[in-house]
Structures are given as C-alpha cells and as structure tokens.
Chains A and B, each alone.
Chain A
Amino acid sequence: MTVSNPDTATPNPLARFIPGSEDLKVITAADGFTEITADRSRLIGVLRVLRDRPELDCNLLLDVCGVDYPMNEHRFEVVYHLTSLAKGHRIRVRVPVDEDDPRVPTASGIWKAADWFERETWDLMGIRFDGHPNLRRILTHEAFQGHALRKDYDPEKRWVLTEAETFVPDWVTEPDEEEDFETQIINIGPSHPATHGTLRIVARLDGEIITRAECEIGYLHRCFEKMSETHSWSEVIPYTDRLNYCSSMINGVGYALAVEHMLGIEAPPRAQVVRVILSEFSRIMDHAVCLGAALVDVGALTNFWYFFQPREEIYTLLESCAGGRLTVSYARIGGLAHEVPADFEDQVRYLLGYIPKFVDDVDKLVSTNRIFRGRTEGIGALSAEEALAWGWTGPCLRACGVPYDLRRARPYLGYENYDFDIPVASTGDSYARYLVRLEEMRQSLRIIEQAIDNLPDGPVITDNHHAALPPKSKVYTEMEALIWHFKLIYEGIKVPAGSAYLATEGANGELGYYVVSDGGGKPYRIKVRPPCFAIFQAYPHLLEGHLVPDAIAILSSLNIIAGELDR
C-alpha cells in the first residue's frame, strides 16, 4: 500500500547540510508539508539539521506517531511533524521500521516535547525508542499486554488491572541524596477535586517545597484512535466531540476540514461562517470553564458560578442549532448537519450583547485582586524558548510571548478576512495565562460580530454527493439521489488513499489531525495532535521549587482537558 497523494518532487532542503543526503526522498505533499523519508540510521542527523540550521529552524515539534502497514515490506512507519514558527514551513519526516526490529533512536534529546509522544508511540504501536529516558507505557495501564493500535490487535480485547498493580515511580522508594531534612512523598489524584478529572501527580516534598514530580495520565484513555478505525469517516465526528468536550464544535470542524482536504472539497460559504461563529462561541465557553475552575482553585468560587450563566446561554444557542448542548456533532464532512434555526442571527446578536458584561465583571473583580495576583504572578513561569521546546501552543504559548495562532499563521475557514488581535503576554506565568484567555474571549466576540454581519445565504452542505447525503426531498423523488443516499449510508464516504495533517486553533492550542486513508470507507489511521498533551508534559518541570497550593494554581491555569489529553 502506498500512502502518498499525487505529490510533486521537490529540491532536497537537506542536501546542502548533510553530505550524502542527496538520495533522500523528498516531496511536497498536498497538505503543504515537505515530506522527507529517511531511514533510522540517519534520523537523528536529519532532525538535528532541521532544528539547528537557521535556514530550516524547525523549533516546534508538533507530533510523533506510528502507523502500521502489515502488508508493506517495512511494517511500521514513525512520522514526525515539525514546523518553524519564524519561516512558517512545515516538515514531515517518515521513518520506515521493520517488524522484527522495531526501534528508532529517540528525539527527546532534540526536542523535550518528543518525550511523551514517543512513549505513546511505544505504548500503542510497540516501537522502541533507543536512549529514551523513561520509556514505559503512558496511556494504557501497567497490566496491559500488546500494543493496541497495531492492526492485528482486537479492538475489544481488554486487560483487567488490580489495585496492586498501579504505578509508583522508581524515585519514590530511592533515598534522596541530600536527605538531611524531612522529605515526603504525596500523591494527588486521580480522583481529586483539583485535578479536574483524571490526572495523577506524585510529588516529593522537601519541607513544603516540591523537589520532584511525575505525572501519570491515561485514566481517560477511551481508545479514540482505535475506535475511529472501526467506524466510517462520518461516524468519527461524534467521537471527536468528546476529545475536548468543553469546546466540542472546534474538534468536529477540525476533523471535517482534514477530511475535506483529502476529498478536495470545501464547505459552502454559509457553512464556513456558521462554523466560525460556533467555534468562537465554543472557545469562549472553554475559556470560561478554564478561568472559572482556575479561580475556584485559588478560592474565588463566585466567578465559577458567575461564568456558568453565559455558558448556559451559549448552550441554548448550540442546542437550538444542533440538538445537543455539550457534544454537538454539528459539523459534517462538507458542511453542517442542517440549516441553523430561523432566529439564529437574533440569538447570536443577543449573546454578543449579553456576554461582555460577564467578562468585564470578572476582569474588574479579579485582575487587580491582590490575593489572586499573589497566588498567580511569577507562579509556574516558563520562558518562550522552553515553552517551544516542550511543544506548547495556544494561549499558554502566547502567555510566554510568542504570538503563534493558527488562525493568523495558517488561516482556515476564512479567518484571514476577520479583524482581530492576538493577545500576548510576556511573563509566561499563571497570571499571564489568565490575562491571555480573558482577552481572547473579547477577541472571539469581535470575530463573531464581524461574521454575523456578513453571514451569506445559501446551502450549509456541499452538493458533492460523494461526501454529503442528498436532500431528503430529492431522495424520495429522484432515482440518482436515492442511489447516492444508498451508497453513502451503506459504504460510507470513500476518501482517496493518501495522508494529510491539518490543524486548527483549538481552545488550548494547535489541534492537529493526521489522517491516513487507504481508499476505503473507514479511516486507516487517525492521529490527533492534542494541545494539552504537549502542555501537560512540562507540568512536573513547572512544579519544581513551588509549594503544593501553587501546583494546584498552575494546573488549573494550563487547562488540561482529560478527554483530549488521553483520547
């Protein structure tokens, strides 16, 4: 099986820097990536050049994943997605790996971000990363046998975990070298109000100061990627809703855009504008949950209840459009599930007048509050370079002073036509993250205002019946429409063989979908690049030197959503 789109050969960007690299296969893929195929002996050299040469400057590692092709000569493929923020180019490195020796050297010495991504690839695909500092399972549990995303793994095969087998880091039992004062180990989570779901942190305290910490995740690993391989392309949309369930519309739109790119179709203008409006409302809701929860954790409970009111109003809008409040499943490949309600514009304008008061009130209540500032200023700070090395994107990266926003950097859905600012802070601490999110809510309102003023008329779903069901009125009256309906329901959408990585600006950062199709009615492989995953792996590092209450304040300022983190 081959998974290349009809791509164009392209000059090798590495030829100048690596002697003997002229024979590397380099193409420009249809999704805009420069795609380099290298074997594993050369991998580290290639990755180092990509990061270090100023001409290439790939400072952000987006994703590492594995794909399984049992019919190929080399069964596995490890795929690296990189980007350069300064140059704007995107590079994909593909490394074929044999089944009988599934190893590649680790990239965790080049980008810190590679650490967890490689552990995930080991856990789910069974590819070893030589030299990795801590290569153990990350999403599945300790008693799990096998590697779940391999094609020969039965999707329903479960392994039972008993309490005795739960994970404890090695260093917990090791004696501390500088042990002259009382050291103790504390465990937070996975069932703890401050973990907002299902995270677990093990920390070593010297007095009250955290000296070392480690996170355990995977408590909400719901097998999204395996499930998507067992469903048709359009049946994946409800699963995407449950990634970041605080802003489910954004996930569905991102997935639809990736599949639309593979199909070579585009949603009609009206659908695109409605997608923008609902995505921005979802962003506001997501930030409202994050800020509300962050404020609860530092003792400001009122704001949490207060922010629920605008959220309920947005839920009402989503419910009237899609039928669901939280998990909307409203996006479709090629557009939207159905037309928006007749009073859509009135509802949106009502919300535009209703929400700013809540944002302003919280701003006035909290932003200059001395207790809040004392709890968050200088807490959990990260420099821009560090944040990029950890693979941070979204509001957390912008709080470190990097104005990277995909809506501006690689516009989609016509974001280039909207006038909005990208809020940036410079200190990179919890307070900066709070300020950035608060301002982003206002900017989202600005985008919605422009979008609703220019909401075009017309259909909300493409008339390309390879992708979208024909209207019911035609199905009952026209033979051809009936046939299309029948084919799409029975066989599903047929996506041409190939692969693509498409990313949208999720509420937490770059939400990417790496989609592989073998031409059939089901996805061959879908890899989600979850923004939380990269952000959360820096968390133990952020904790060092802080107090336990600070750990809580930092965690809530990062907005870790377990559904997206664990998938």
Chain B
Amino acid sequence: MRQPDGSSALLTTRLEAMLAWARKNSLWPLPFGTACCAIEFMSTVSSHYDLARFGAEVVRFSPRQSDMMIVAGTITDKMAPVVKRIYDQMAEPKYVVSMGACACTGGFYRAYHVVQGVDEFIPVDVYVPGCPPTPEALIGGILKLQELIQSGETQYDRLKS
C-alpha cells in the first residue's frame, strides 16, 4: 500500500479474512424466482434500488456461475426436486437467502402442494420476512449475509468445519 508521502506500507491480515472480504463484496446472485417475490427482486436489482451498490448485481441464471441463491417465491412440492438440484450444482462456497414468507415457512399457504420452508431440503443462511419483502428488506438480508460471510458463520462455513 502506497502512503501519501510515497513510502510503502504493509497491510497484514489472515487469508480467510481477505477471502471473506472478497467474497462478500462480489456475491453473484442466482435468482430462483417463482412468484411475487421475484417481481420485488427485479425491483431490487433495477435502477431505483440498484443492488450494484452492494456488489451483487451480476445476476446469473446458471448455478455454476453464481454463489448466492435467492429463493424468491413459493416453492411447491413439484418444484422442490428442481431447487435441490440447482443448489447441488452450485460451486462452493455457496449461500442461500430465503426471500419472503413462502420460502421461509410456506407463508399463508399451509396447503397440500406447498413446501413449508425451503430449509426442509437446503441449508438457509438468511431469512428475509415479508410478503413480499420490500427491496429495502432484501438489501438488508444481503447485508446480513455479508456480515455472516465476514465472520465465518454461514451454513457453508459450518458444514465445512
């Protein structure tokens, strides 16, 4: 690091901390959008709320290119194997944000064809409440995930250790 007077200085840190810092600021979301929440996800990434401010605007629909799955919307029993498969295809480290009441708990669909929370079959890092959550709430959830990544407390870190 170059100082104002032209001399050099060293910045020391642990490798994990630096990697975490890099990861948390370049999350590539995979929007697993199924329903109403996907519309609010679109609002979050588009011009008005601009998720790019938090380094997470590179939306990738291929699981192999993304590291943050945002489950936005109701997951039904018919869809569940697909979600699981997409999650399994993501490269590690990978994180899951459960956006909205349906993805968190099934919401007000306590019904014969609705999964009562995606954590039935994939590990979830952050639950964002709301039906649908406002873009501010989703951004809040992503900031929370960044904190977890920096402190090494994500589900991925737990499963690894």
Mark A residues whose CB is within 8 Å of B. Answer: 139-141, 144, 148, 153-163, 166, 190-193, 197-198, 218-223, 226-227, 238-239, 242, 245-246, 289, 304-305, 308-309, 311-312, 315, 325-327, 562-563
Known interface pairs A191-B86, A326-B132; A562-B35 also in contact (CB < 8 Å): yes
Q: Contacts A220-B76, A304-B46 given: A158-B112 contact, CB under 8 Å?
A: yes
Query: B132 contacts A155, CB within 8 Å?
Result: no
CA distance A140 to B79 in the complex (A): 10
* Interface residue B74 (Cβ < 8 Å from any Cβ of A): yes
Q: B54 on the interface (CB 8 Å rule)? A: no
Closest 7 CB pairs of A and B: A223-B111, A245-B36, A141-B78, A163-B81, A308-B46, A193-B61, A312-B48
Name B112's contact: one of A148, A190, A289, A326 (CB within 8 Å).
A148
**Pair A161/B36 contact, Cβ less than 8 Å:** no
A-B contact pairs, 20 of them (CB 8 A): A141-B76, A141-B113, A144-B77, A153-B112, A155-B110, A155-B111, A158-B113, A161-B80, A163-B84, A197-B38, A219-B34, A220-B76, A220-B79, A221-B76, A221-B78, A222-B102, A223-B113, A238-B108, A289-B39, A325-B134
Asked if B134 and A140 make an inter-chain contact with CB atoms under 8 angstroms apart, the answer reads no
- Cα–Cα, bound, A320→B74 (Å): 26
In the complex the two chains form, what is the Cα distance from A239 to B109 in whole Å? 9
Contacts of B141 in A (CB 8 A): none
| Contacts A242-B35, A245-B35, A245-B36 given; does A223 touch B109 at CB 8 Å | yes
Residues of chain A lying within 8 A (CB to CB) of residue B80 = 160-161
Q: 1/0 contact trace for B66-77 toward A, CB 8 Å? A: 000000011011
CA distance A315 to B134 in the complex (A): 11
* CB pair A327 B36 closer than 8 Å: yes
Question: Interface majority SS on A: helix, strand, loop or mixed?
Answer: loop
Verify A191–B111 contact, CB threshold 8 A: no
A239 contacts B108, CB within 8 Å?
yes
Q: How far is the CA of A315 from the CA of B80 in the complex (A)?
A: 31
B115 to A: closest C-beta gap in Å: 8
Q: Contacts A156-B112, A220-B74, A221-B78: A192 and B61 contacting too (C-beta < 8 A)? A: yes
> Do A190 and B40 touch across chains, with their CB atoms under 8 A apart?
no
Q: B90 interface residue, CB < 8 Å from A?
A: no
Contact check, B78 vs A197: say whether CB atoms are below 8 A apart.
no
Task: Establish whether residues A163 and B47, one from each chain, have CB atoms under 8 Å apart when the complex forms.
Answer: no
Our count of residue pairs bridging A and B at CB distance below 8 angstroms stands at 127
- List residues 93-116 of chain B with CB under 8 A from any CB of chain A: 102, 108-114
In the bound complex, how far is the Cα of B46 from the Cα of A192, in angstroms?
19
A222 to B107 Cα, complex, angstroms = 11
Give which listed residue, B61, B73, B109, B132, contacts A227 with CB less than 8 A. B109
Residue B65 lies at the interface, judged by CB distance under 8 Å to chain A: no
B58 at the interface (CB under 8 A from A): no
Give every chain A residue within 8 A of B43 (Cβ-Cβ). 308, 311-312, 315, 325
User: Is B2 positioned at the interface, with any CB of A under 8 Å from its CB?
Assistant: no
Contact B34 A220 (CB under 8 A): yes
User: Does B158 count as interface, using CB distance less than 8 angstroms?
Assistant: no
- Contacts A245-B36, A326-B132; A148 near B113 (Cβ below 8 A): yes
> Once bound together, how far apart are the Cα atoms of A55 and B107, in whole Å?
50
Give bound CA distance, A154 to B85, whole Å. 29
CB within 8 Å of A: which B21-46 residues: 32-36, 38-40, 42-43, 46
Most-contacted residue by chain A among B33, B35, B61, B108 (CB, 10 A): B35
| Docked-complex contact B78 and A218, CB < 8 angstroms | yes
Q: Which residues of B contact A222 (CB under 8 A)?
A: 35, 74, 76, 102, 109, 111, 113-114
Contact A245/B111 with A191-B82, A197-B34 known, Cβ cut-off 8 Å: no
Assess whether A305 is in contact with B113, with CB atoms less than 8 Å apart.
no
B35 touches A563 (CB 8 A): yes
CB-CB under 8 A from A161, the residues of chain B are 77-78, 80-81
The answer to whether B78 and A327 have CB atoms under 8 Å apart is: no
Task: Report the minimum CB–CB distance from B85 to chain A (whole Å).
Answer: 6
Q: How far is the CA of A193 from the CA of B48 in the complex (A)?
A: 22
Tell me the complex Cα distance, A221–B102, Å. Answer: 13
**CB < 8 Å neighbour of B36 from A223, A309, A563:** A563
Q: Which residues of A contact B73 (CB under 8 A)?
A: 197, 220
Known pairs A219-B76, A223-B113; A166 contacts B81 (CB<8 A)? yes
Contact B114 A198 (CB under 8 A): no
- Collect the chain A residues with CB atoms within 8 Å of residue B109's CB: 222-223, 227
* Chain B residues positioned under 8 Å from A326 (CB to CB): 36, 39-40, 132
A563 to B73, CA, bound (A): 10
* Bound: A140/B111 CA distance, A: 12
